Amino acid sequence: MTQYGQQQSQSVMMYDKKRINALMRLVLARLRAHKIGVVDIVAALAHNGYPMSRAQFDDCMTTRPERDTTLSVPAFQAFVRVIFRYDASILSAEELLDFVNVMRVPVSLVGYFRSFVSRHAWNSALTTYGLSMQHWDEAVIGRERVVEQLARYLRHQSSCIITGETGIGKTAVAVEVMRRLSLERGVPTYVLDARTITSLTEFHDALCETLQLLSIENQVSALRVKQYLQNHYAYIVIDNVRDTDQLSVQHLVRYLSVELPQLICVCTTSASVHDIDYAPFLVFQLPELPWDSDDSAAAILVQRTVVEFGAPPVSNTLVRAIRGQTKGNPLHIRLATLNLLQSVAPQPTFELHNFGAEALSLLGHHARAVLEVLLCLDIDIPIHLLKAMSTQLIDQTAYELTVTLRVLQSGGFVVHLHGMTDVVTVQHTVRGALSETVSAVRRADIMERLARALSESHDPHDTLTPSQREYLDLQIDLPTILALTQLLINEGETTRAAGVITRWSISIVRHGHIAKAIAVVESCLWQLPEEHMSFCVLQRILGELFGINGQFPRAHVHFKAALQNAMLRADDISIAQTRVSQVGSTYNFIQRSGDQQYQKSLHHLEKAE
């Protein structure tokens, strides 16, 4: 073969880097309106488990058209998640499919990208490529009319509440409705886990954390929420609302409709409700899937579950047996199908009313380990943060964890929630049935691994600039890290929790959710022995937090205690750090008052310290 022929043959195998570069310029131009650049994309990719330098990203996506290199398929999937999180309408369906095509994504993985655009637009784009989407390849099987009905209702700035039995798919429908509205409106959506909310105060605190509203001058959370909603509409799923002694579902709904009408909500609850009690919210009773025929939604869900697990098709006889046993409950259908695929018995014998240990036995070692970790953590945890800790926490790489989470999702054990950031949560019914199956020894091991992962100094942040690290710490990681630190304290791992707080102390002090940070540090201090080496550090951090919050008398008390503790230890470094922190806190207070004489005096004191 001649040299020209060899070059021509090689060019067929090369990526279309010129087209990739052109699409990237289009993406960056549209992100520029949001003040988002390449450095932000690189930082977000690092948080999703794909750390790389700016130069490496440019080499793959924005420059060097002669180089046959680009992002791997998993990294490209993370890239698409990142850009659509910044702008929910950044690419049309045709442009996204063009990008997928030039990146050589395998046909078997093309379906992953359908969730980023509307179903109709995606089907139209596929048609131009000669492809078609099978009717069972929907985000929520058998719920298309329900999703459209609820989305139509919410388009008019109205809210609704979804009820139904456990496992019927309330959360999946609610999240899909919000995802559709996010695509149409180009606005972010949020998910709030309401399991532990027992009062309006806790609800406001949770809203502030979910909406990422910063604390200003010790302002109460209710006022922060109302001020934010004066100029914003927010779309949010309030998941798993329960009746408590201080806050009933009816009371919460009435409060939302009267006090926070700009908050467009989809509430889910298993409580029995009646329309008249929850006006003006639309009450929708989610029924079971149709299951009485071989082409029903229940039968299609059985077939898709089999495909997702990579198993050969099952006979219609077994599909009918599962349909009859599960009566159209999506969770039960997935669990029963998984039991069938794992069992050597000719007929499914899964007991749906008691699937504790039996359900765990259906999972492989890796999937069971991840599920046990999620059950112990018991929070909606961002997937990127779970991947960042996966090596220390679960002994899996980020890619292996992605595969495992897909298995757990196919089996109905976990749910992926798409909002400001992708999070994973254990399905409510599964959590209730399996939370007690994790042994005390295994739980202690998970807590130890968690503390080590949170205290680890080598993480995806190390590839970022200081400004990038701080941005991602404040906007993404810290609320979850504070919650995990509180979990360590609750489990009696106070010493390890103190180490985590020390590791993240700079970011915690600069973090906007001051009330949460104060509660965690105080909780750790109460249980930590005074002679512990971290006691002085925690006192100093608490003084800084109270100072930022405007509570200077309390800040002075903690600074004084930290200084006395450091002097007793004759720890010169701790003494200097405490004095400098106290000077900085006092300086901020004087600077707010605008007194020039005090500012000048404090400046000399700061130089002296």
Q: How far is CA 268 from CA 240, 265, 271, 334, in A?
A: 5, 10, 9, 21
Pairing outcome for strands 160-163 and 263-269: parallel
pLDDT band at 2 (very low <50, low <70, confident <90, very high): very low
* pLDDT beyond 50 at 74: yes
Quick one: average pLDDT of 15-33?
Answer: 85
pLDDT score recorded for residue 107: 65
Quick one: average pLDDT of 212-226?
Answer: 74
pLDDT score recorded for residue 350: 53
Task: Report the range out of 135-139, 269-273, 486-490, 516-520 with the highest average pLDDT.
Answer: 486-490
CA–CA separation, 128 and 94 (whole Å): 9
CA–CA separation, 327 and 324 (whole Å): 6
pLDDT score recorded for residue 80: 92
pLDDT score recorded for residue 7: 35
Quick one: average pLDDT of 110-116?
Answer: 80
pLDDT score recorded for residue 281: 84
Closest CA to 30 of 80, 79, 86, 110: 86
pLDDT higher for 255 or 606?
A: 255
Q: How far is CA 508 from CA 126, 202, 516, 520, in A?
A: 47, 21, 10, 10
pLDDT score recorded for residue 216: 59
* pLDDT beyond 60 at 570: yes
pLDDT score recorded for residue 460: 45
Longest dimension (CA), the chain: 87
* pLDDT beyond 60 at 57: yes
CB 301 within 8 A of CB 330: yes
Q: How far is CA 11 from CA 8, 23, 149, 392, in A?
A: 5, 20, 50, 42
* pLDDT beyond 70 at 351: no
CB 301 within 8 A of CB 334: yes
DSSP 110: G
Across the chain, mean pLDDT equals 78
CA 193 to chain centre: 11
**Crossing angle, helix 494-503 and helix 514-527, to 10 degrees?**
140
pLDDT score recorded for residue 6: 35
pLDDT higher for 165 or 589?
A: 165
Phi–psi pair at 161, nearest 5 degrees: -130, 130
Structure confidence by residue, pLDDT tens digits, 417-467:
765 567 888 887 788 777 777 888 988 999 998 888 888 644 444 545 555
pTM: 0.70
* pLDDT beyond 50 at 12: no
Pairing outcome for strands 282-285 and 160-163: parallel
Structure confidence by residue, pLDDT tens digits, 288-333:
888 888 888 888 888 888 877 767 778 888 888 888 888 888 888 8
Pairing outcome for strands 263-269 and 282-285: unpaired
* pLDDT beyond 60 at 1: no
Q: How far is CA 137 from CA 144, 387, 437, in A?
A: 11, 27, 34
pLDDT higher for 606 or 60?
A: 60
Least confident window among 46-55, 275-284, 556-565: 275-284
* pLDDT beyond 70 at 14: no
CB 482 within 8 A of CB 517: yes
DSSP 452: H
Least confident window among 86-90, 127-131, 253-257: 127-131
Quick one: average pLDDT of 108-135?
Answer: 73
